[in-house]
Chain A
Amino acid sequence: MIKYLIQKEFLQIRRNAFLPRLIIIFPIIIMCVMPWVMNQEVRNIRVSVVDHDHTSLSARLVHSIEQSNYFRFRGMQPSYELARKEIEKSRTDIILVIAKGYGKVAEMKAKGNAIPSEEDRGKILIAANAVNGVKGGIGASYLSQIVVASANPDAAALQSAVSTFYLYNKHLNYKLFMIPALLAIVMMLMCSFLPALNIVSEKETGTIEQINVTPVSKWSFILAKLIPYWLMGLLVVTICLLLAWAIYGITCQGPIALVYLLTMVLALFFSSLGLLVSNYSETLQQAILVIWFFMVCLLLLSGLFTPTRSMPHWAYLTTYINPMHYFIDAIRTVFVRGGNFAAIAHQVYALCAFAILMSFWAVVSYKKNS
Chain B
Amino acid sequence: MNAIEVHHISKSYGKVKALEDVSFSVGKGEVFGLIGPDGAGKTSMYRILCTLLLPNMGSATVDGYDVKRQTREIRRRVGYMPGRFSLYQDLTVEENLYFFATLFGTTVEEGYNSIKAVYSQIERFKNRRAGALSGGMKQKLALCCALIHSPSVLFLDEPTTGVDPVSRKEFWDMLAMLKERGITILASTPYLDEVRRCERVAFLHQGHLQGIDTPDAILERFSDVFNPPAIEHSKAVTVGEENVIEVQHLVKSFGSFRAVDDISFSVRRGEIFGFLGANGAGKTTAMHILTGLSQPTQGTGTVVGYDICTEHEQIKKNIGYMSQKFSLYEDLTVAENIRLFAGIYGMNDQTIARKTDELLSRLNFAEHKNDLVSSLPLGWKQKLAFSVSIFHEPGVVFLDEPTGGVDPATRRQFWELIYDAAARGITVFVTTHYMDEAEYCDRISIMVDGKIRALGTPDELKQNYHQPDINHVFTYLARQASRSSD
Q: Interface 1/0s, chain A 1-41, versus B by CB < 8 A?
A: 10111011001100110000000000000000000000000
Which A residues are CB-close (under 8 A) to B235? none
Which A residues are CB-close (under 8 A) to B321? 210, 213
Which A residues are CB-close (under 8 A) to B340? 4-5, 7-8
**B313 on interface, CB distance cutoff 8 Å:** yes
**B358 on interface, CB distance cutoff 8 Å:** no
Neighbour of B344 across the interface among A5, A207, A209, CB < 8 A? A5
**CB of A147 to closest CB in B, whole Å:** 63
Give A210 to B331 CA distance when docked, in angstroms.
15
Q: Report yes or no: B327 in contact with A207, Cβ–Cβ below 8 A.
A: yes
**B214 on interface, CB distance cutoff 8 Å:** no
**CB of B104 to closest CB in A, whole Å:** 27
Q: Interface 1/0s, chain B 300-328, versus A by CB < 8 A?
A: 00000000000011001101011111111
Give A206 to B294 CA distance when docked, in angstroms.
16
**CB of A1 to closest CB in B, whole Å:** 5
Q: Report yes or no: B332 in contact with A215, Cβ–Cβ below 8 A.
A: no
Given contacts A11-B336, A213-B321, whether A206 and B295 have CB atoms under 8 Å apart is no
Q: Interface 1/0s, chain A 299-312, versus B by CB < 8 A?
A: 00000000000000
**A164 on interface, CB distance cutoff 8 Å:** no
Q: For window 201-245 of chain B, which residues contact chain A by CB distance below 8 Å?
A: none
Q: Name which residue of chain B comes closest to A221, CB basis.
A: B344
**A369 on interface, CB distance cutoff 8 Å:** yes
Which B residues are CB-close (under 8 A) to A8? 329, 332, 336, 340
Which A residues are CB-close (under 8 A) to B346? 1, 215
Give A141 to B158 CA distance when docked, in angstroms.
74
Which B residues are CB-close (under 8 A) to A212? 293
Neighbour of A209 across the interface among B293, B313, B316, B345, CB < 8 A? B293
**B96 on interface, CB distance cutoff 8 Å:** no
Most B CB atoms within 10 A — which of A1, A16, A217? A1
Q: Name which residue of chain A comes closest to B341, CB basis.
A: A214
**CB of A195 to closest CB in B, whole Å:** 17
**B431 on interface, CB distance cutoff 8 Å:** no
Most B CB atoms within 10 A — which of A207, A212, A369? A369
Which A residues are CB-close (under 8 A) to B372? 15
**B292 on interface, CB distance cutoff 8 Å:** yes
Q: Report yes or no: A1 in contact with B326, Cβ–Cβ below 8 A.
A: no
**A370 on interface, CB distance cutoff 8 Å:** yes
Q: Report yes or no: A370 in contact with B294, Cβ–Cβ below 8 A.
A: yes
Given contacts A5-B340, A206-B326, whether A215 and B331 have CB atoms under 8 Å apart is no
**CB of B244 to closest CB in A, whole Å:** 16
**A353 on interface, CB distance cutoff 8 Å:** no
Q: Name which residue of chain A comes closest to B294, CB basis.
A: A370
**A56 on interface, CB distance cutoff 8 Å:** no
Give A216 to B341 CA distance when docked, in angstroms.
10
Q: Report yes or no: A207 in contact with B329, Cβ–Cβ below 8 A.
A: yes
**A113 on interface, CB distance cutoff 8 Å:** no
**A205 on interface, CB distance cutoff 8 Å:** yes
**CB of B160 to closest CB in A, whole Å:** 21
Q: Name which residue of chain A comes closest to B323, CB basis.
A: A209
**B377 on interface, CB distance cutoff 8 Å:** no
Q: Interface 1/0s, chain B 278-300, versus A by CB < 8 A?
A: 00000000000001111100000
Neighbour of A12 across the interface among B316, B325, B328, B332, CB < 8 A? B332
**B182 on interface, CB distance cutoff 8 Å:** no
Q: Report yes or no: B327 in contact with A4, Cβ–Cβ below 8 A.
A: no
Which A residues are CB-close (under 8 A) to B316? 213-215
Q: Report yes or no: A11 in contact with B326, Cβ–Cβ below 8 A.
A: no
Q: Name which residue of chain A comes closest to B385, CB basis.
A: A210
Q: Name which residue of chain A comes closest to B327, CB basis.
A: A210
Q: Name which residue of chain A comes closest to B313, CB basis.
A: A215
Give A206 to B321 CA distance when docked, in angstroms.
12
Q: Name which residue of chain B comes closest to A210, CB basis.
A: B327
Give A60 to B339 CA distance when docked, in angstroms.
82
Which B residues are CB-close (under 8 A) to A369? 292-295, 312-313
Q: Report yes or no: A215 in contact with B344, Cβ–Cβ below 8 A.
A: yes
**B343 on interface, CB distance cutoff 8 Å:** yes
Most B CB atoms within 10 A — which of A12, A210, A213? A213
Q: Report yes or no: A205 in contact with B294, Cβ–Cβ below 8 A.
A: no
Give A121 to B294 CA distance when docked, in angstroms.
87
Give A205 to B339 CA distance when docked, in angstroms.
20
Neighbour of B291 across the interface among A4, A12, A213, A217, CB < 8 A? A213
Give A157 to B295 CA distance when docked, in angstroms.
83
Give A212 to B325 CA distance when docked, in angstroms.
14
The 4 nearest A-B residue pairs measured at CB: A206-B325, A4-B343, A210-B327, A213-B321
User: 26 A-B residue contacts at CB 8 Å?
Assistant: A1-B344, A1-B346, A4-B340, A4-B344, A5-B340, A5-B343, A8-B332, A8-B336, A8-B340, A11-B332, A11-B336, A15-B332, A16-B331, A205-B325, A205-B330, A209-B323, A210-B327, A210-B328, A211-B344, A214-B341, A215-B316, A215-B345, A215-B346, A369-B294, A369-B295, A369-B313
Interface residue ranges, A against B (CB under 8 Å): 1, 3-5, 7-8, 11-12, 15-16, 205-207, 209-217, 368-370
Kindly list 8 other residue pairs between chains A and B, CB separation below 8 angstroms, not including A210-B323, A369-B293, A369-B313: A3-B343, A4-B340, A4-B344, A11-B336, A207-B327, A210-B328, A214-B316, A368-B313
